[in-house]
């Protein structure tokens, strides 16, 4: 058993990866023996990731607020607490808060030794962010 005390401070999400104010709390970091990277990510209204992809995919689990998610070429979808989204390996996508709501999600990705957790692309434009939404 390993016990990890909560000694890390909340980090501001880097401007290269996010639009708006985003804050990240580390939950699990990859090691030689563990390949899970998990973070609790807090998005302020209108904040969002840039387009990005993960070599082994990504699961997000929405814990608070209302958010938006989209895969490249797909429809923008509304997500709420309890919703889970899986983005497949190397699937280009973005996720973030609705324009008038906070959103927090748990992000979980597999990271093999020597590889990057994500490949980051361009920022999501305002037109992409405000495109029609599917709210099923």
Interval 43-53: pLDDT, tens: 999 999 999 99
What does the pLDDT read at residue 136?
60
Q: How many CB atoms lie within 10 A of CB 109?
A: 20
What does the pLDDT read at residue 110?
95
In the chain, which stretches have pLDDT less than 70?
135-136
**C-alpha separations of 32 from 2, 12, 98, 108, 112 in Å:** 14, 26, 37, 17, 9
pTM of the model: 0.92
Name the token pair of 78: 């509304």
What does the pLDDT read at residue 4?
76
Max CA pair span of the chain = 48
What does the pLDDT read at residue 125?
96
Name the token pair of 130: 């405000």
112 contact partners, CB below 8 Å, separation of at least 6: 35, 55, 56
What does the pLDDT read at residue 80?
98
Give the span between the Cα atoms of 6 and 27, in whole angstroms: 9
Query: Do the strands 133-134 and 76-79 form a parallel or antiparallel pair, or are they unpaired?
Result: parallel
Beta strands in 3-121 (DSSP E): 11-12, 18-19, 22-28, 36-43, 48-49, 52-53, 58-65, 67-71, 76-79, 84-87, 93-97, 103-110, 119-120
What does the pLDDT read at residue 53?
98
Domains and CATH numbers, the chain: 11-113+121-134 (2.60.120.10)
């Amino acid at each position: 058993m390993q016990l990890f005390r909560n000694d890390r401070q909340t980090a501001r999400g880097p401007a290269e990866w996010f639009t708006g104010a985003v804050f990240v709390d580390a939950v699990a970091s990859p090691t030689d023996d563990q390949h899970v990277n998990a973070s609790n990510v807090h998005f302020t209204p209108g904040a969002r990731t840039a387009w990005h992809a993960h070599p082994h995919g990504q699961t997000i689990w929405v814990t608070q607020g209302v958010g938006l998610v989209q895969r490249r070429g797909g429809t923008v979808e509304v997500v709420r607490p309890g919703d889970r989204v899986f983005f497949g390996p190397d699937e280009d996508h973005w996720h973030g808060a609705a324009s008038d709501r906070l959103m927090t999600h748990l992000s979980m990705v597999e990271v093999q030794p020597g590889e990057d957790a994500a490949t980051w692309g361009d920022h999501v434009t305002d037109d992409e962010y405000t495109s029609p939404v599917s709210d099923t």
